[in-house]
């Protein structure tokens, strides 16, 4: 975060920033549920036109498995939907969806730092480090919108706005709730999330695995 490259990316981001910034960071992978996330944003703008011109949904998407036909087709579907939503809601001065397909970690860190809400709506995910990275880096007490089907949900879901990854209407409502949440509630949730993440270090996790293995071996050894 202290590197010159991140500082440059941050300056560029802030020059373009509207009043509200919604962010997602994902691989272009079917499991990440990008299409439903964009459809939820489309629905949010329909329900709350007062946000038009005041918000940008910045999606930083990393190319994934571009030698696999299904992934190439998925990328095309994503970009087609982006064009539809920008045409429907945008104008010559404002495009609601800003999609960057690239591997640019400094720009990702800059986005983490300044989001008002971070969307993680994966269909299923073993952990999802984006949820944790964003919570640690963000300086605005940004709100995490988190799928109940991510591994990270068990750890920090109590402090996020929870969504069913298949429910577009619920995700649209979650965006509105995240952006209009009172400042004191945002701050309390953000602090609790950081405390949990920093308290669960890699070393602590590895030690827990060894304890589980030892317990299992003891049970097996005790069997007749």
pLDDT (tens digit per residue) in 38-66: 999 999 999 999 999 999 999 999 988 88
Has residue 117 been placed in a domain? yes
* pTM for this entry: 0.91
| Residue 84 structural domain | 4-199
Q: Are 75 and 100 in contact (CB under 8 A)?
A: no
pLDDT tens, position by position, 125-183:
988 999 999 999 999 999 999 999 999 999 999 999 999 999 999 999 999 999 999 99
Q: How far apart are CA 137 and CA 195, in angstroms?
A: 13
| Structural domain contains residue 187 | yes
Q: Within 10 Å of residue 3's Cβ, how many Cβ atoms?
A: 11
Specify the higher pLDDT residue, 19 or 1: 19
Selection from 38, 84, 82, 78 nearest residue 62 by Cα: 78
Q: Is residue 213 part of a domain?
A: no
Provide the pLDDT for residue 125: 93
Question: In terms of Cα–Cα distance, which of 150, 210, 142 is closest to 181?
Answer: 142
CB 126 within 8 A of CB 102: no
User: Are the CB atoms for 108 and 117 separated by under 8 Å?
Assistant: no
Task: Identify the residue with better confidence: 201 or 112.
Answer: 112
Residue 205 has a pLDDT of 83
User: Is residue 109 within 8 Å of 130, Cβ to Cβ?
Assistant: no
How many domains does the chain fold into? 1
Residue 161 domain flag: yes
214 in a structural domain? no
Quote the percentage of the chain above a pLDDT of 90: 90
The CATH number assigned to the domain holding 67 equals 3.40.50.2000
Place 223 in a pLDDT band, splitting at 50, 70 and 90.
confident
Instruction: Tell me, yes or no, whether 39 lies in a domain.
Output: yes
**Is residue 66 assigned to a domain?**
yes
- Give a yes or no: residue 215 inside a domain: no
């Amino acid at each position: 975060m202290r590197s010159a490259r991140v500082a440059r990316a941050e300056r560029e981001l802030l020059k373009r920033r509207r009043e509200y910034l919604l962010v997602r960071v994902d691989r272009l992978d079917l499991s990440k549920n990008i299409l439903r996330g964009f459809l939820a944003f489309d629905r949010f703008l329909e329900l709350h036109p007062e946000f038009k011109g005041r918000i940008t949904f910045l999606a930083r998407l990393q190319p994934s498995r571009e030698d696999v036909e299904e992934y190439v087709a998925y990328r095309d579907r994503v970009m087609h939907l982006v064009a539809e939503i920008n045409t429907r809601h945008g104008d010559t001065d404002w495009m609601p969806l800003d999609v960057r397909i690239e591997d640019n970690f400094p720009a990702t860190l800059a986005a983490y730092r300044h989001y008002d809400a971070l969307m993680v709506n994966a269909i299923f995910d073993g952990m999802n480090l984006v949820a944790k990275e964003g919570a640690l880096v963000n300086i605005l007490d940004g709100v995490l919108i988190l799928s109940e089907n991510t591994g990270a949900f068990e750890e920090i879901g109590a402090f996020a706005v929870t969504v069913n990854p298949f429910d577009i209407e619920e995700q649209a409502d979650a965006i509105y709730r995240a952006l209009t949440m009172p400042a004191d509630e945002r701050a309390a949730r953000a602090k609790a999330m950081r405390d949990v993440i920093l308290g669960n270090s890699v070393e602590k996790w590895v030690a827990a695995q060894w304890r589980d293995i030892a317990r299992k071996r003891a049970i097996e050894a005790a069997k007749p």
